[in-house]
Chains A and B, each alone.
Chain A
Amino acid sequence: MPILTIDNQQIEVLKGTNVLEAAKGLGIVIPHFCYHEALGAVGACRLCAMNFVEGPVKGIQMACMIEAKDEMVITTTDQASQEMRARVIEWLMMYHPHDCPVCDEGGECQLQDMTIAGGHDIRRYGGKKRTYSNQDLGPFICHEMNRCIQCYRCVRTYQDYCGGTDFGVLGTNQRVYFGRFRDGRLESPFSGNIVDACPTGVFTDRTFRYRTRYWDIEEAPSVCPHCSLGCAVIPGGRFRELQRVRGGVNKQTNGFFICDRARFGGGYGNHPERPRVPRVDGAQTTWPEALRALRKRITDLVARHGPGAVAFLGSPRASLEANYLLDSWAASLGSRRIAFDSHWQHDRSARVAAGKLGPRAASLEDIRCSDFILMIGVDPLNEAPMLALAVRQAVRRGVRLAVIDPRPVTLPCAAAHLPLAPEALPDVLEALAGGDIRRLGRREAVLLEGILEQLRAAERPVLIGGPDLLGAAGIERLLDTARLLASEHRPCKVMTVLAGPNSFGCGVLARQGPDFEAILNGMLAGEIKALVCLESDPMTGSSDPARTGMALGKLELLAALDYLPTAAAHHAHLFLPTTAVPESAGVYVNNEGRMLLFSSAMDPGTPISVSGGGDHPPRTFLPATPGSEPRPAWATLGHLQGRRLSLRDIRQAIEMEHPNFAGLSSLTTGGEGKRIADISPPPETAPEIPFPHSEGEGTLRLYAMEDFAGSGELAGYASALAPLRPTPFVMLGALDAKQRSLSDGQQVRLRSELGGVGVALRVVPDLPAGIALVPRLRGTALESYVPGRGHYDCQILSEDEEKT
């Protein structure tokens, strides 16, 4: 490891570190633009000049481009390098427009900071400035090219890191331009990252256009609730409204970037219909009234029908603390009827992951560093977007990626795709684990042989699976496969994508408890009279919305604690408002079992934009903030049990009861989080769960799949994501389409047990025969097709056939 001297201080750094990073290690921060830890150095901005006095290179050099070597002696404070930096920043500023007051970057602009740091405070150039025309880049990103300093960070982020192809650098000479070939929405699902990456105001967040300055926005490190990966995000609010989300840094999970679902999907808490006041039987009331009513009704029901009459439903989007308190409330009442996910297959998958993943769990960083990746039954871009980006980073290093999935798994990188029907996936898993490979077709067997060979040869292979197609049984088998493939010297890690940000935590809490299917049966049989839903909506969340609706109708008491205007919240006899994720603190356990702390960025309340009707805030004095009734779910649940608990108390109690969560109470926000302790799983008494799919006869088998912006519960309430939601469509293989004389783009009629809907047809050449796919799109006719519950028998007819 080289030791070098910078400004008379010695530092030892890892081999391969550049001098700019080495200086940073000593606390010497030199102005720079183009270097970025995730993007690397290109030496484009010429700002990071240092003076190399001794060693292999001499003179003024760009520190980011030079690898730290032994015996280097470097100064950053001498006149020559200081002057160089001052000149460079002056050149960079020469054509810079007089725009700061009308630029959204102002206040958090690296160019502003570096200009001051470089000592350039008076403009000397009095001539004319170069200008550019801008492009319309769609609903998410604003473009203002005059502000560009040609650091190339945007292209390196968009093309190199995120794999986008519709944006790049154009022009020559003094006309270098960063944009698209022509106007239009940036197509990459990671496009928002150029807002964070651009050190100037060329790319700014259009959804945040002219809303707030950096010094006014209330921000806090948080965790993204839109999928199970637990990416670090920084939500920011002002005037009681969530205004933007930007990427946080967690090197074990997302790294530096986030997906557009997270960035532009933060508005669910601002939903105009968000219920903010406690309600009893449809009438708004005060907190003490509502709490009293809930306690009384539950006590009455328990007295009349026994504790089994009250069931509880936790949620993978509620914090660990709230779920734990719900569990302890159920226990204190004597009810053992508690489930933590209304989708029973997702629930079972999470329990398998929580019980068996252990040290085999791969983080996104493990995936970025892996040397062979096999994805089976997982569609990263739609189910866990940043996973696609992590996979891409491995592929960029030349790593092979194999995908076995019936869906047309789109990825921002090259992959070998083996499209197999969902029914064949168990056989594939069997074959991978050393079973009979001949049960698959010949072509498939050959391809699988190849995959197996690469898998055996790899040193750090990772297997990735998802719950929708594999189900709990498949995930279990995937884990067994990994165990068989691993040896002492060669780990074989696994990533299981789960349903929600806290699915893993719920999986630990659920232990041997019933799943929602059992609770549903209890409700239909009339044994269960009351259901308490914590931040969950069984009406749309369960795998059978129709049956769930029926069962809920039979209840004497439906109580809901939530911050979304869900169907359950709407129909609840008793409703208690809770705080949305950016307004609350807590812990999520992500899909690899990493406990991640999120803290509260803002207080709940009716946004001023609403209370003022778009104009100034009302001219009245009020004793309390309007709409500030929502309380954190954990506080309400503690209150209901008559316990005054702080978050700290709850975390300590969780640690006592579940030793897996050791270290929970010493977690800090903004760090890398902590993996839960691997404690050998409880004796296996889980029921034998069948695979979610079986061969259907005769008709077409229809599977629902997740959509990037259309399927998620939270994403469904985020209005900014609307432009990303596709119009309803169904996908069919080329052969099946031909048999039915249907063509791509045609309007067709999709008929199944859920009724008939008109949708557009998309013909996917290599979709396996006999199956069709629809995305679950909330708020459309495709809302009730739930992914992860097996297939629906369906028919696809052309509009004319339908009429006859």
Chain B
Amino acid sequence: MAEGIDVYKRRYGQNPKSLWRDLKGTVEPFYVTLRNMFKKPVTYQYPEEKRTPYPRYRARIVLTRDPEGGERCVACYLCSAACPVDCISMQSSEDENGRRYAAWFRINFSRCIYCGLCAEACPTLAIQMTPFYEFSGRDPLKMVYEKEDLLIADGGKDNEYNFYKHAGIGVANPRGGNEDEYGPVDVRSNLP
């Protein structure tokens, strides 16, 4: 205990500057307040007054389409794996052209923390964050969005990429018909 008092004294007790510091500490806050009273306030009077966030703001999530209008999402489950709160669920399926797609896709927005990890994980640019932040409700079930609620008509932040034009499985173009591919090899040939 005695040691503690010694330490205090050593630090503050014998310090001639301490009086000056205390005075300054009393007056300065008044000065700061006074100075700000004549500045324009930064507060928005939400909801009367709305702020436009930057495009990369992370709010309500959408599923986008490729330039050809096809659903971009291939239901690869990567977003649901990345999601720290497990609010994405889906069932993948295959259509008659061999395209992998989500038979259903559900995001429970009452659980989403808008961390953006899903969009980060998406290999097809399908799932994207939008700046639409006015997004709340009283009924948790109404915050559960299905695929038809999530899907939008365009490509969101990217209107060029089409995953199937780079994947080898031959959905957008015939097999071996993508720009970065040779046509299928002839396995029966024995030329060198």
Contacts and interface: CB of A to CB of B under 8 A. Distances in A.
Given A146-B168, A171-B188, A175-B187, A615 B103 contact: yes
B192 A173 contact: yes
Contact of B184 (A132, A170, A172, A173): A132
Interface string A114-144: 0000000000000111111110000000001
A211 B92 CA distance: 6
A804 interface: no
Contacts of B175: 131-134
Given A129-B181, A213-B81, A616-B146, A102 B93 contact: no
Interface in B167-188: 167-169, 175-176, 180-188
Interface stretch (B1-9, B23-31, B71-79): B71-79
A102 B169 contact: yes
Contacts, number: 109
B144 A130 contact: no
Nearest to A127: B180
Nearest to B148: A616
A97 interface: yes
A612 B106 CA distance: 13
Contact of A102 (B100, B183, B185, B191): B100
A619 B94 contact: no
Interface string A84-118: 00000000000001111110001100000000000
Contacts of B91: 211, 239, 608-609, 616
B189 to A, nearest CB: 7
B74 A615 contact: no
- Interface size range on B against A: 35 or more
Contacts of A131: 168, 175-176, 181-185
B147 interface: yes
Given A133-B175, A215-B81, A616 B182 contact: no
Interface in B68-117: 74-78, 80-81, 91-94, 100, 103-106
Nearest to B124: A101
A171 B75 contact: no
Interface in B5-56: none
Given A97-B168, A100-B123, A130 B185 contact: yes
B136 interface: no
B101 to A, nearest CB: 9
A438 B100 CA distance: 68
Interface in A192-217: 209-213, 215-216
B167 A616 contact: no
Contacts of B81: 213, 215-216
Given A102-B74, A131-B181, A171-B187, A616 B168 contact: no
B169 A99 contact: yes
B187 A99 contact: no
A130 B77 contact: no
Contacts of B76: 100-102, 106, 213
A210 B75 contact: yes
A621 B182 contact: no
Given A209-B94, A616-B106, A128 B180 contact: yes
A495 B8 CA distance: 88
A614 interface: yes
B168 A99 contact: yes
A99 B180 CA distance: 13
B98 to A, nearest CB: 9
Given A131-B175, A144-B168, A619-B144, 17 more contacts: A97-B168, A98-B167, A102-B76, A107-B77, A131-B168, A131-B181, A131-B183, A131-B185, A132-B184, A133-B175, A146-B169, A174-B185, A209-B94, A211-B91, A216-B81, A616-B104, A621-B141
Report the 9 A-B pairs with minimum CB-CB distance, sorted nearest first.
A97-B168, A616-B104, A131-B176, A101-B76, A171-B187, A177-B187, A146-B168, A213-B77, A210-B92
22 contacts: A97-B167, A98-B166, A101-B74, A107-B77, A127-B180, A128-B181, A128-B182, A129-B181, A131-B175, A131-B182, A133-B176, A147-B168, A170-B187, A171-B187, A177-B187, A209-B94, A210-B93, A211-B91, A213-B81, A215-B81, A608-B91, A616-B106
